[in-house]
Structure 1
Amino acid sequence: MRTGPKIELHVHLEGTVRPETLLAMARRNGEPLPATTVEGLTELYRFRDFDHFIEIWIMTTHVMRTAEDFRQVVVDYAAQAAGHGAVYVEGIFSPWFRVQRGISWEEIFNGYADGVAEARERFGLDMRLTPDVDRILPPEAACEVARQAVRFRDLGIVGLGLGGPEVGHPPEPYARAFAIAADGGLAAVPHAGETTGPESIRGAVDALGARRIRHGIRAVDDPDLMVELAERNIVLDVCPVSNLRTRSVTELAAHPLSALMAAGVRCSLATDDPAMFDTDLGREHAVAAALGVRARDLYEAGVAGALCDTATRARLAAIGATTDWEAAQAALAMAAGDDQLAVDVAAAGPPAVFR
């Protein structure tokens, strides 16, 4: 079923690894996991809240240790994403934790870059990379991540992110790291407004110079902020199923995506950590369709937000211009009827504020 081309700007590559692959990596690298079966890992992925998700993410992703691991992670996900119609993906990875376990910066960055090159050759999928700073790091450690990201810029590094637990960890202390990245030609793409309010988004924009905001859903709580994001064309990279799994929203039917777009805020759509959240690009678009969001608008926001060169942006725009979006939307409506999460959204109807 063809549901149109897709652009994904927010996917943590470590969170794309399926349980069976994670177990294989653990065995070959001699690294323990908190579960030893696919079923056990799958059960671990039933998260109580965002903090529990971070705990499990750290416990499981440490098994990735070699350039071959990092290459495989990219190629495996590229195959999945291309199968759902992805034409451009920006992948996130968190190098600091790997370096602290004795892995060199070169092995990490070169491994991911080799995967990007192979993804282009095998699947025709255009990918870029945006290393993440964890917001529990000391600011000087964050600066080192920024310096290394700039050093490897020629490997397809286009931005610097800020991730990790948002509550109690505002963006402002990391302003110097993002200034280093900006001086080296990298855009700021921090997480903000996922588990805390609009003040986190404002800090990411004002202190870090955010080019895009990953998540940003709590902007819906501040009408003035939504106006500012719309006027400044700051795209939000929204991940509905992730928000449900981490309890950032209580139900998908009340997800802020449609309200944000109705206010003129441009939103792209993404999976975040698809293996951990039992989702993929097809499911996310089926959920968005059930929320009344048009695939064309999501794609065009992706074109606007992509951290790519002019020629690539023109190519992506041309793909969108030649797509039969009415047929794609009809196919998505059919897909939504087959996806239980999307069915639940449709059955609940729109939030009361929109009825």
Structure 2
Amino acid sequence: MNKIKVVVVDDSALIRNLMTKIINSQPDMETVATAPDPFIAREHIKRLNPDVITLDIEMPKMDGIEFLERIMRLRPTPVVMVSTLTDKGADVTFKALELGAVDFVTKPKLDISQGMLDYANEITDKIRAAHAARYRLTKLPDKSAAALAGAEVVKPMAAPAALGNRFAATEKLVLMGSSTGGTEAIRVILEQLPTDSPAILITQHMPAGFTKSFADRLNQVCQITVKEATHGERVLPGHAYIAPGDKHLKLGRNGANYICQLEDGEPVNRHKPSVEVLFKSGTEVSPRNIIGIMLTGMGKDGAQAMADMKKAGSYNICQDEASCVVFGMPREAIALGGADEVVALNQIAKRLLDHLSKIGGRAAIRV
């Protein structure tokens, strides 16, 4: 078996050594070079042609964002960003994802011991996901570079038109799950939705400290209101609610109203928040009023719950393989019979609205 070749770029020798130790402990990957700055990294990348690069965001001489842009233009390679757990770090991280980075991890704490195994699993899982990624670059101005990476160049979308309040008074709502590649996939869908769309509850695999920044960025570019979910708040049409990075998000009811419920439980399928938890709550509350959407991501989190939700009466859409960064979670859901439709990313919003238009009217509440 050919090992995944990884180049680690970080200005801290301690972090480089720690990352090297974690990567080299795995049977399917190896650190082929480390670099303290982008200039040395550039020579390693040219010489070794790595499968994956881990890239620190904050470095001397040239920051990680500028270097990422150069990598994407000159030698497109799956990149996992290493980010600081700060507001500034979160903003820069999402900029990196927009530029084509596959995923990110937070910078390890050098004094951690109890959580090191979980941290090592997170890093190596993301490296595997990056290696498996069907790489898509949609933001580069140089289309030849995007084509070189196998990218689909997506044209800017026109602002969505309001739907005459057709759905605002209905009981319909949307539950959405995603992981690797999901931040951009979610943006593509939400940007196409009008202000009177049904409410949307979203679980995206993401660490605590990043989900509020993610929601705020989406809120700036979408017509609907996007926010980080809070416990007990009423779920309203024209709103999307993002699961906090350290809590499970569940759909609940309070009388006639839907509400967000946050649960501080154990990880499910190694994730917290977990798509499985969100979709399972949909089955328990009102499955016949739910449209489930499964987007790009590694693994199978949410697949079984999506299949169960469909059996209970939901209508489900899965992202297709060609438009996924990683076709893991949708593939598993499809294999279990959880999908009513399998749709390209840039068509999911349209298919969602078409389905809502077709069923029309106020749906009966069936618990």
Fold match (TM-score > 0.5) = no
Larger radius of gyration: 2
Higher relative contact order (CA 8 A, sep 6+): 1
Q: Please state which structure has a larger fraction of its residues in helix.
A: 1
Please give the TM-score of this superposition, normalised by the length of structure 1.
0.34
Q: Please state which structure has a larger fraction of its residues in strand.
A: 2
Please give the TM-score of this superposition, normalised by the length of structure 2.
0.33
